Structure 1
Amino acid sequence: MSDPSFSLSRRQWLRTTGLGLGATVALPGLLPAHEATRVLGGVSYRELLARLEQDATTARRLAGPVRLMYNENPFGMSPRAKDAVMAGWTEHTWYEPPIRQQVRETFAAHVGVPPEYVLVTQGSSEVLATAALAYGVDGGEMVVPHPTFEDLPRYASTLKATVHKIPLDDRMDHDFYAMDARIGSNTKLVFVCNPNNPTATLHDDRTLRDFVTTACKRAPVVVDEAYYDFVDVPGHRSMVDLVTKGESIIVSRTASKIHGLAGLRVGFAVARPDIIERLSQYKTGDPNVFGLHAMNASLRDTEYQAFVKQKNREGRTLLLDSLRAAGRKATASQGNFVFFHAGKPAADMQRYFLRQGFMVGRAFPPYTDWCRVSIGTPDEMKAFVSVLPGAFA
């Protein structure tokens, strides 16, 4: 963001959006106070969620250019999660708070495994870091698609592991045939991301299962399911059931996406107990108590999850339809972001959209003329698509 063209002051932003410095709207951190007032006033939870959309849109607009670059949840954590954070404040002084085991048990029940199959981590990035350490600390080789979420291959590279990056196929899916051919006697770990980031593509369930069950006989397979909760394809299944069948598979999940807890750092590994024990040896710490309380409540808040998924679907459909109308190619997104062919450098797209009040994703080589856009609130996406045609002028 050192490029002068990226400079947009908060005062300029308030002017362009029509919000004066005296605007009476809450910053994101103050939204819980509004929500508490509404609950005390007898507003139903359904009504509260309906109002949350406008609150989030207004607060994000006041905070500056709209963040559509990191695949964040624009609505933040659920109101019930915020209540849980406040209710659990006494445990922040404890080294071993009871909530640590409680959230492990809650998540285990959520995905249908015994608690000993779950490791609670500081975000899903720690799952990938501990996997790299546990299986790559002595060198060896790892097989990963390219491009994909970069944490595991980056960690592995720092450990002097040889990382084989296998290009995506012509449909921007994992090339499972090429990945399978690369797995050898010195392969320590295989990585799959489904839906994939940055392409947002979802793999055919049967093809993925065939690959994973074959590959894990030769090396443990990490399956990153960070965007699992946004998938709309009927019959789509997690790989968790393969874990319970005893396969050498590590499923990674996060609280950062549909649960809106990116800043509180909570994630999960689901694997056989012996693999969980191995990963545990490389943990660097524990999630903070506030994040744990928030996640424990959010896992039970299925109404909020459904709300976020529906709003994401609305925004995603609006963007995909607008791209189609503009004649632009886009992948069939199953995440909370869209990846489309811009026909010009991603940096040019960043500069254009920033002038319009939006921050979008960086370049993802080799797709340097493609653009990744996270899904904001429906109102934000309406504003975004209104300026979209100008990006292709």
Structure 2
Amino acid sequence: MNTTNRRNWLKSVALGGGFTLMGGLPVLLATTPSTTQAPFAKLNANENPYGPSPLVRDVLKTGMDAGCRYPFAYLKPLVKAIAEKEEVSEDCIVVTGGSTEGLKATGLVYGMGGGEIIAADPTFQALLSYAETFGAYVHRVPLDSSQTHDLEAMERRINSKTRLVFLCNPNNPTGTLLDAGKLRDFCLSVENRTLVFSDEAYYDFITEPDYPSMIELVREGRNIIVSKTFSKVFGLAGLRIGYLVARPDIALRLRERLMANTNTLAILAAEAALKDDSFYKFSLQENTRAKQYLYSEFDAMGLEYITSHTNFIFFKTGRDIRTLIPQMMEHQVQIGRPFPPLMDWARISTGTMEDMKSFASALKKVLA
């Protein structure tokens, strides 16, 4: 679904309100394959409990013969489809083994040999920790009072050694979203001094219909890299496929530093996922329903939480997360890992409604 169609759909469906999906949510619920149930509610990794979609499953079954083939011959149709979706040329696309491989390749390119990287704290660490392995120095800038990137403080850290500013937007683990105008202004104001990386793994879950992807700056030839993934809304986390979007010269540099690439079945699955508009809408709809349920439960328990633009919610527990994790596991519920320095906060992924009810019941018992 391209940006324009996504915006129109968000407006028409009004995600913040009712849950009637065009043509009928019950129909899709009935035809969506049941998820593989763990012996507990697995709510720690921001996965889509409903994926892969029915169309993707069919493609995986019929495409199994291609499992003996190297992926390179199958890549071009997917690159073409992604380029059309993002409205860029094909040489702007770098397909990766999940967005994590793209993050790590970027950390390698721009962090090696003592390069400096600026990032919020806490945020997603894959790019940062990998860059540190190769000698980078990472300036970690605390989030502001609303648990959002402090762009002014981040800009003040830029110096002659800065090679990259990393923005995770919406941010993991807080679920917060940068003001669109401030984000664009920031990227334009710093791109002549350093490169900006916009991690948009959760972009599809943003509920503001006209919120821009920073791919619009890639189209303008700016010093911007954007990462996206098929792991979240498309439900392909286990197949490991994502992509980077960047100016052709930057994309080439990153493509040459990939370590693993993806696999043939993941490529076929991703191509099918882009065509399965019904499942895309269904995933967003169910994610909103789960979040609304959690908000009501947190309100009833008097717990502070951050309204989320992702498929997880960050909430304040008032107790050390290292204690809460095993306590919740005693009730068969797995929640997110620690995110220092916010040690009395917890990240809970959205799941099925059964998962959400199990989580709420367990949390009430633990906090009691």
Give the secondary structure class of the aligned counterpart of 2:34.
Answer: helix
Shift of 1:302: 1.1
Cross-structure match for 1:51: 30
Q: What is the aligned counterpart of 2:120 among 140, 145, 148?
A: 145
Give the secondary structure class of the aligned counterpart of 1:98.
Answer: helix
Cross-structure match for 1:321: 296
Aligned pairs for 1:91-130 within 5 A: 91-130=66-105
Aligned pairs for 1:340-359 within 5 A: 340-359=315-334
> Over residues 81-132 of structure 1, what are the superposed CA-to-partner deviations in whole Å (9 max), with x where a residue is unaligned?
1111122223222235432111111111112212111010111011111111
> Over residues 334-389 of structure 1, what are the superposed CA-to-partner deviations in whole Å (9 max), with x where a residue is unaligned?
10000000000112221222122210012110000101100001222123223332
CA contact (8 A) 1:52 1:75 kept: no
Aligned pairs for 1:183-202 within 5 A: 183-202=158-177
Alignment-mate amino acid for residue 217 of structure 2: L
Cross-structure match for 1:12: none
- From the superposition, tell whether residues 149 and 349 of structure 1 become closer, same or farther in structure 2 (CA, over 3 Å): same
Counterparts of 1:285 and 1:135, CA distance in 2: 19
Give the secondary structure class of the aligned counterpart of 1:84.
Answer: helix
Cross-structure match for 2:216: 241
Aligned length: 346
Cross-structure match for 2:361: 386
Alignment-mate amino acid for residue 223 of structure 1: S
Structure scoring higher RCO (CA < 8 A, sep ≥ 6) equals 2
> Over residues 216-239 of structure 1, what are the superposed CA-to-partner deviations in whole Å (9 max), with x where a residue is unaligned?
221111100000111112321111
Cross-structure match for 1:25: none
CA contact (8 A) 1:91 1:97 kept: no
Counterparts of 1:118 and 1:234, CA distance in 2: 25
Q: Find out whether 1:84 has 2:59 as its counterpart.
A: yes
Give the secondary structure class of the aligned counterpart of 2:164.
Answer: strand
Q: Find out whether 1:253 has 2:228 as its counterpart.
A: yes
Cross-structure match for 1:132: 107
Q: Which runs of 5+ in 1 are unaligned?
A: 1-43
Which deviates more from structure 2 when the two are superposed, residues 269-278 or residues 85-94? Answer: 85-94
Shift of 1:49: 2.8
Counterparts of 2:317 and 2:78, CA distance in 1: 42
Alignment-mate amino acid for residue 237 of structure 1: P
> Over residues 195-250 of structure 1, what are the superposed CA-to-partner deviations in whole Å (9 max), with x where a residue is unaligned?
00000111111111111121222111110000011111232111111100010100
- From the superposition, tell whether residues 220 and 381 of structure 1 become closer, same or farther in structure 2 (CA, over 3 Å): same
Provide TM-score, normalisation by structure 2: 0.90
Alignment-mate amino acid for residue 337 of structure 1: F
Shift of 1:137: 1.6
Q: Find out whether 1:162 has 2:162 as its counterpart.
A: no
Find runs of 4+ consecutive structure 1 residues off by over 3 angstroms: 44-48
Identity of aligned residues (%): 39
> Over residues 306-335 of structure 1, what are the superposed CA-to-partner deviations in whole Å (9 max), with x where a residue is unaligned?
000000000011101211221111111110
Counterparts of 1:162 and 1:384, CA distance in 2: 39
Q: Which runs of 5+ in 2 are unaligned?
A: 1-22
Larger Rg: 1
Shift of 1:46: 6.8
Counterparts of 2:268 and 2:240, CA distance in 1: 12
Counterparts of 2:357 and 2:26, CA distance in 1: 22
CA contact (8 A) 1:140 1:187 kept: yes
Shift of 1:54: 7.9
